[in-house]
Amino acid sequence: MPMSTIRKTVAVNGALLKDDRILLGLSQEALLASCDKAFHIGTLRRAEYGENISEIYLASLAKALGYSIERYILADIPELRTPSSVDITGKWTAFFVQDHAGSAPYLVTEATSFKHSDGHITGYSDSEYRGKPLRENFIDTFIRGDMLIGRTIVEGWGDLAGATSFQAVISRGNDWIDGYATWYDSDTRDICCSRYILIRVGASFESDFAAEAKELMKQECAQFAARRAPI
């Protein structure tokens, strides 16, 4: 088989793939054993998260489930994906990196709650800043395809200090949101940027996702510091 075919990847409807497996009463291990191609269980897990995998592996999974590969391939253009399949209502844990005057970059963890109605998002995030409770409210927030786009405003801080804009991709069966947030730092009068990850509370792989997010944020702390370094 040509190398180009082996390396071709496709976007997977992970939620549908997982639902079909469960309806057949198959564990991930049992589904792999039914496939006509040998590959690692991590590939199946990535597929069920909604990540891209090799086309030949997805075809093997589809065949084992009794369907054609087309059932599980997402359209390349996000706008063509079914909006109703993306619902982020519920509780989430958010991770990002920030600093303040005199501190090194550090990880911030927020308790986030979303209410999703007709593509528009409302909600809030609770955390602490310099030892005091802080609440950010989501405004102008919406979903387009698999993208979550919006802003947050910190209660009592006005419309400049604490105002954050973000864009992130929803994936892994609508349980993982990953993107970037930017905001104005009134101490340094600078624009800051951090990776922004949210994990659904109660997700099947919540503890694994949290460990992965924290590891990624260790890397983000170093990158945040590098962006802050004088030129």
pLDDT tens-digit readout, 140-189: 898 888 889 999 998 777 666 678 999 999 999 899 999 999 998 877 77
Residue 75 reports pLDDT greater than 80? no
- What integer is the mean pLDDT of 204-220? 95
Q: Give the architecture (CATH level 2) of 86-228.
A: Beta Barrel (2.40)
Integer Cα distance of 22 and 194 in angstroms: 37
The DSSP symbol for 11 reads: -
pLDDT digits (tens, 9 = 90+) for 102-116: 789 999 999 999 998
User: Residue 213: its pLDDT value, please?
Assistant: 96
Residue 77 reports pLDDT greater than 50? no
Q: List the domain boundaries for the chain.
A: 3-74, 86-228
Residue 78 reports pLDDT greater than 80? no
Instruction: Note every long-range contact of 207-211, with CB atoms under 8 Å and residues 24 or more positions apart, other chains counting.
Output: 209/172, 209/175, 209/176, 210/93
Contact predicate 218/89, CB 8 Å = no
Residues 6+ apart with CB under 8 A from 168: 147, 148, 149, 177, 178, 179, 180, 196, 197, 198
**Does residue 101 or residue 111 have the better pLDDT?**
111
User: Residue 7: its pLDDT value, please?
Assistant: 56
CATH top-level class of 3-74: mainly alpha
Residue 3 reports pLDDT greater than 50? no
Residues 6+ apart with CB under 8 A from 145: 77, 78, 79, 80, 81, 83, 86
User: Residue 158: its pLDDT value, please?
Assistant: 61
Residue 225 reports pLDDT greater than 50? yes
